[in-house]
Amino acid sequence: MEINVPLLKQICEIAGAPGFEKRVRDLVVYLVTPLADEVKTDNLGNVIAIKKGKRNPDGKRVMVAAHLDEIGFIVTHIDEQGFLRFHTLGGFDPKTLTAQRVIVHGKKDLVGVMGSKPIHVMSQEERNKLPKTTDFFIDLGMPKEEVEKYISIGDPVTRDRELIEMGDCVNCKSIDNRVAVFILIEALKMLENPAYDVYATFTVQEEVGIRGANVAAHSINPDFGIALDTTIAFDVPGAQAHEKVTELGKGTAIKIMDAMTICDYRMVEFMKQTADKEAITWQPEILTAGGTDTAGVQRMGKQGAIAGAISIPTRHLHQVIEMAHKKDIADSISLLVACLEQVDSYDWSH
């Protein structure tokens, strides 16, 4: 299966920091409205696209969650010279901020750069220290009076990087988690025979505590849940075999557990059997640090959901050079569609 790279590029590049997802939400609503029986947006900003099941006399619901937000920043201060201080929205490794361009979303979008103290004037002690996010500021190249025409405290900031193709991979900022948004949209296009009602849920504020998924799962009250998100692919020089988590090009990943969720063993086995039946390449995923919307989907419905996750192996997570393999993306789409069409064929008893 060839993936639609231009659509993935559009989805990855559009801005949407946690709590400020409007631009990407508007794009998703536009894209999914022709594909669903009903589309609604809840008070928190989650987009829920419902596709009715074909064999569903008991009204069973499958919630599929892909978060819209990307890690970003929020402006906290404008100093006398017009430099911006900021707070992170989501988790960052501070060393990845060095020399990066960002976009500050105020009355109009302004491109800025992440600045810090030049190494030439650092003491030896300063050179030996690991950087902190508080070491950085945003330089807009403008004096304060010009900055304040457009930028206010509380404005969101996102990273500036275009999607490119590199060999068999795609590389961009915000592959986490726009690749999952893309996968869910493509699955809706292909989904002709869903067994149960599908609640394709594009969640908000995952990067700051799976807040959107918690609210959406409480409202939807799903019987089954599938989260879509990226996962670590530490298949690089220096990594030991047991550290890799996943590898690029080895297929979609079926989550067994992460730091916030032990996936339901029945869902894990169902996904494995479905992948094998459909000749979809897959690999197991155990991520001992970090969590995803899987936790909210599994636990926040009124009786809990039989939940698991399809994960997309990704190198260089939470950087501007996140990389995923096109075959793994295609395999993830195929597995999701197959699961949604065959969920009624599995024995879900304990």
**Catalytic residue ranges:** 206
277 by Cβ neighbours in 10 Å (0-12 / 13-18 / 19+) ranks as exposed
Residue 342: count of CB within 10 angstroms of its CB: 17
| DSSP type of residue 315 | B
Separation CA 96–CA 146 (nearest Å): 28
Separation CA 94–CA 108 (nearest Å): 27
Residues 6+ positions from 216 with CB-CB distance below 8 Å: 42, 44, 46, 48, 63, 65, 199, 201, 203, 296
Residue with tokens 């530490």, as numbered in its chain: 234
SS3 325: strand
SS3 23: helix
Which is nearest to 83 in space by CA: 31, 22, 146? 146
Separation CA 167–CA 169 (nearest Å): 5
Upstream peptide bond of 171 is cis (omega within 30 degrees of 0): no
Separation CA 251–CA 330 (nearest Å): 9
